[in-house]
Amino acid sequence: MTEIHAKLTGMMLPSLTGLRAFEAAARHMSFTLAAAELNVTQTAVSHQIRRLEEQLGLPLFIRRNRTLLLTREAREYLPPIRSAFEDLRKATENLRRSEQAGLLTVSTTASLATKWLVSRVSAFQDAHPNIEVRIATSAHLVDFARDQVDLAVRYGRGTWPGLRAHWLMAEHIFPVCSPALLTGANPLSRPEDLANHTLLHTMVSREDWQLWLTASDLPASIAMRRGLTFDQGFMAVQAAVEGLGVALGRTHLVQDDIAAGRLVAPFDMLLPDNAGYYVVCPEATADTPKIALFRDWLIASAKAGTET
The predicted structure's pLDDT at residue 300: 93
Q: What is the pTM of this model?
A: 0.57
The predicted structure's pLDDT at residue 208: 84
**Are 68 and 135 contained in the same domain?**
no
The predicted structure's pLDDT at residue 183: 87
**Are 33 and 90 contained in the same domain?**
yes
- Are the C-beta atoms of residues 253 and 173 closer than 8 Å to each other? no
The predicted structure's pLDDT at residue 61: 92
The predicted structure's pLDDT at residue 101: 57
The predicted structure's pLDDT at residue 141: 81
- When the pLDDT of each residue in the chain is averaged and rounded to a whole number, the result is 87
Cβ atoms within 10 Å, residue 254: 25
CATH of the domain at 20: 1.10.10.10
Q: What domain count does the chain have? A: 3
- Are the C-beta atoms of residues 160 and 246 closer than 8 Å to each other? no
**Are 164 and 184 contained in the same domain?**
no
pLDDT for 5-29, tens place per residue? 555 544 567 888 999 999 999 999 9
The predicted structure's pLDDT at residue 1: 45
User: Each residue's pLDDT tens digit in the chain (308 positions)?
Assistant: 455 555 554 456 788 899 999 999 999 999 999 999 999 999 999 999 999 999 999 999 998 877 889 999 999 999 999 999 888 887 776 665 555 458 899 999 888 898 899 989 999 989 988 889 999 998 788 888 888 899 999 888 888 888 999 999 888 889 999 999 998 788 999 999 999 999 999 887 768 888 899 888 899 889 888 789 998 889 999 999 999 999 999 888 899 999 999 999 999 988 877 778 899 999 999 998 899 999 999 999 988 866 54
Could you say which of 99, 130, 160 is where a domain stops? 99
**Are 263 and 117 contained in the same domain?**
no
Dist. CA 107–CA 153, nearest whole Å: 6
Domain hosting 212: range is: 171-273
The predicted structure's pLDDT at residue 105: 92
Dist. CA 105–CA 16, nearest whole Å: 39
**Are 119 and 209 contained in the same domain?**
no
**Helix %, strand %, coil % for the chain, to 5?**
50, 20, 30
In our burial notation (b when 16+ CB lie closer than 10 A, e otherwise), range 126-139 reads: eebeebebebeeee
CATH of the domain at 200: 3.40.190.10
**Are 249 and 292 contained in the same domain?**
no
**Are 116 and 87 contained in the same domain?**
no
Cβ atoms within 10 Å, residue 198: 19
**Are 72 and 23 contained in the same domain?**
yes
The predicted structure's pLDDT at residue 271: 82
DSSP of 248-273, one letter per residue? EEEHHHHHHHHHTTS-B------EEE
**Are 46 and 93 contained in the same domain?**
yes
Residues listed for the chain: 308
